[in-house]
Structure formats: C-alpha cells, structure tokens
C-alpha cells in the first residue's frame, strides 16, 4: 500500500493499524495490537468466511474461552474452496502432527477464522511474520494452557476469481 494511502486511511479511521513488514503474521500482529476491544475476531477478508455468522464465536468467548478456533472439517467446505490435496492430506496431516507434538485438541490448525481474548493472545508474544503465525498461535496457546474451544465454520471459495479444484 502506498504511504499516502496508508496515512489517509489511518487519519479517517478506516484502518486502525498498519505494519511496515510484509506477511500474514505481521499484518495480524499489527491489527491485534491496534484493536481496542476485549475480544478480537480475525479472518481472511477475501470472502472465504462469512462475517455475519460469528454468534458461536462470541458466545464461546462470553462463556470464558480465550481462543475460539474455527473447524472447517466439522462445518463445511464449499466446492472449490479448498484443493483436494489440502483437504484430504495437507490440513489433516499437519493438524495431526500438531495434535501429537503439542497435545493440542485442535482439529483444524490452519483455520483462518478465529476469535480470542486480545490480552491473552498478546501475552503469548507471537512473532511469526508469515503464514506460520497461524500455527504459532495454536501451539503457544496450547502450551500456555489457554482455554481453547472449536466451533464449526464454513469455508467458501475466496474472491480471487479462480476455482481451486
Ligand atoms: N495484509 C496481508 N494479508 C495477507 C498477507 N498474506 C496473506 N494475506 C491475507 O491472508 C488471507 C489468507 O491468505 P491466503 O493466501 O488466502 O492463504 P490460505 O487461505 O491459507 O491459502 P489458499 O488456499 O491459497 O487460499 C488472505 O485474505 C490474504 O489476502 C500479507 O502479507 N499481508
Ligand atoms: Mg485463502
């Protein structure tokens, strides 16, 4: 994003935080730090997730969960939303490795839609700049014994305009 565009967005309030470092993790860390609420919902803003259906996340947070993970395998994966290799091999195997190594209960380690208690997540000191941020959050939250729950989530094809399978 051009510096002038960033400055304008920060001034008019449409953007709260901005990272000068590239990467999924860098962007999320900047966003979480800039957020003001007690709870934060993070999600890919490319039409993959339905932000009008966050009630389950909120009710779990209100009930005391500190990290609410979406689970696309317990919810649904719409046609074309995830390539078969990721659906049947990549995601299940990587989640299985995480469950085995870190004794995590999480069955969808890489789900991009999550809700969490902002302070609890900031205390984890997450620092991965790239996509590995997604795993770092689950692993550190598990090791620090945060209260973690899962809710079924729907994954839709993203808005980038091509079908993955
Ligand atoms: N701000 C910012 N956003 C990013 C960056 N990398 C990825 N994203 C966003 O993070 C979300 C997830 O990235 P994707 O590339 O869709 O990753 P994915 O959903 O795990 O994998 P796909 O199967 O390729 O869709 C998308 O909304 C991206 O636009 C980055 O460097 N900076
Ligand atoms: Mg995606």
Domains in the chain, ordered, with CATH? 2-155 (3.90.550.10)
Nearest CA to ligand 1 atom 27: 44
Identify the pLDDT of residue 114.
98
Is 18 near ligand 1, meaning CB less than 6 Å away? no
**CA–centroid distance for 66 within its chain:** 14
pTM: 0.92
Give the chain's mean pLDDT.
93
What confidence tens digit (pLDDT) does each residue in 34-54 have? 999 999 999 999 999 999 999
Contact at 8 Å (CB) between 106 and 99?
Answer: yes
Pocket test for ligand 1, best of 29, 46, 108, 159 (most atoms within 8 A of CB): 46
What confidence tens digit (pLDDT) does each residue in 89-125 have? 999 999 999 999 999 999 999 999 999 999 999 999 9
Separation of CA 157 and ligand 1 centre (Å): 13
Nearest CA to ligand 1 atom 26: 44
Per-residue pLDDT for 16 more than 90?
no
């Amino acid at each position: 994003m051009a510096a002038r565009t960033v400055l304008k967005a920060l001034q008019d309030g449409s953007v709260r935080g901005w990272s000068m470092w590239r990467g999924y993790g860098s962007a999320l860390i900047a966003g979480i730090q800039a957020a003001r609420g007690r709870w934060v919902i993070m999600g890919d803003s490319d039409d993959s997730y339905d932000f009008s259906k966050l009630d389950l996340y909120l009710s779990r947070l209100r009930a005391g969960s500190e990290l609410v993970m979406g689970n696309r395998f317990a919810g649904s994966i719409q046609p074309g939303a995830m390539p078969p290799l990721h659906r049947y091999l990549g995601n299940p195997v990587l989640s299985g490795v995480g469950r085995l190594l870190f004794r995590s209960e999480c069955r969808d380690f890489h789900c991009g839609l999550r809700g969490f208690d902002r302070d609890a997540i900031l205390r984890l000191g997450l620092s991965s700049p790239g996509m590995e941020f997604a795993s770092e959050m689950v692993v550190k939250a598990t090791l620090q014994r945060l209260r973690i729950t899962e809710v079924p989530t729907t994954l839709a094809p993203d808005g980038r305009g091509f079908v993955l399978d």
